[in-house]
Amino acid sequence: MLIIVAIMYIQQTNSRGKYRCYLLLENYREGGKVKHRTIANLSRCSEEEIAAMKLALKHKHDLSQLVLVSEAGRPLSIEVFPGNTHDAATVASQIRKVAERFGCGDVTFVGDRGMIKNQQAEDMAHYGFHYITAITKPQIESLLTGGVLHMDLFDQRLAEVETDDGVRYILRRNPERAVEMRRSRDDKVASLRRMTQKQNEYLAAHPRAGVEVALRKINERCETLNVSRWVKAAARERKISLVTDQEALSEIEKLDGCYVLKTDLNKQAADKETVHARYKDLAQVEWAFRTSKTVHLEMRPVNVRLADRTRAHAFVVMLAYRIVQELAARWREIDLTVEEGIKELTTLCADEVLVQGTPRCNKIPEPRPQVQQLLKAAGVRLPEALPCRGVRVATRKKLTKNRSTH
């Protein structure tokens, strides 16, 4: 089982003390990291509307979704929670669901370091389930200090350490990720140097400007960029410079690209290569979640109000993703994405056949060769004609207009 979750909330900021800005933001996990994106600017809304939306975000069940996915990447279940529910708090109900509702016996849950912690591992053990997860960098450092892990193990392609209590640690260093981390660190230092240069220029041009203010700004920026452990700003007379703690930097760099997986599976059930491969399969969950929310299916906006309808909306999106996933597999040899294939299918049309001025049926012309290839690969055979029932079908763009005229 693979797990993924996202949360939406409202953030208030002040623009230079002139006016308040309200933003609708969303947190989601990708690649084991928490990322943020802005959904909408709510600054034009009244205080009453903002308060109502905050209340809805606190209690409405459409703002945090958790998806259970099979080993093959197929979604098995989706559940929605109040938007203020912590990620790890959503796992217990999924464990009970798998054990009691699905009646599963031998199951291994795969989740990132924010989803599966000690409490969740104990809950899984209660039902005889197992887990595969990753540990945080402070946990890695603690295991290195305690002598459980050793740095030379990261020099192997894939190393393994098993403790006396049956917990296994799978270690690996990703050299590409190590290069990315060093490049990111260099970019942060370069931005700090540019900021320091601007502050020095300002201090030189304004003799009455305070050095302490400029120094505080740079050090606050160091905190924001998460480099304050090894970079500090120091002032000498009226000139500010950056000071790098090489010893602290070397200590941080030694874990660049390193990650450690943790599992309670024994070696007979899964060797270290299998454990590593299953954890990497979390990328399928991230792709499923991204597809459901942004690419084709657009989980939001949720244009319903009641909790059961919100759950139904999320369930329909999950079913739609199953269709997208199936089309992606069937159209893989055609060299078209699902989005491009669906766009090709929009060229399908029907001719209305009139008998004595009354519509009787819709005759379907022969599709173009590209469309025929897509339909054949999808296992769809079009009829020659369809009955005309007088039903009006509106696209999302025309739906509002049709509602206003009927």
The 10s digit of each residue's pLDDT in 52-64 is 667 666 544 444 5
Could you report the per-residue pLDDT of 166-201, keeping only the tens digit for each? Answer: 899 999 999 999 999 999 999 999 999 999 999 999
Q: Which residue has the higher pLDDT, 230 or 357?
A: 230
Residue 69 · residue 1 · CB < 8 Å: yes
Entry pTM: 0.67
Q: Report the range of poorest mean pLDDT among 157-166, 185-194, 199-208, 391-400.
A: 391-400
Q: Which residue has the higher pLDDT, 170 or 359?
A: 170
The model's confidence at residue 342, banded by pLDDT at 50, 70 and 90, is confident
pLDDT score at 4: 46
Q: What is the mean pLDDT of residues 65-94?
A: 73
Q: Which residue has the higher pLDDT, 332 or 19?
A: 332
Strand partners, 240: 235
Class of the CATH domain delimited by 2-134+265-295: alpha beta
The model's confidence at residue 2, banded by pLDDT at 50, 70 and 90, is very low
Q: Where are the domains of the chain?
A: 2-134+265-295, 176-253, 337-405
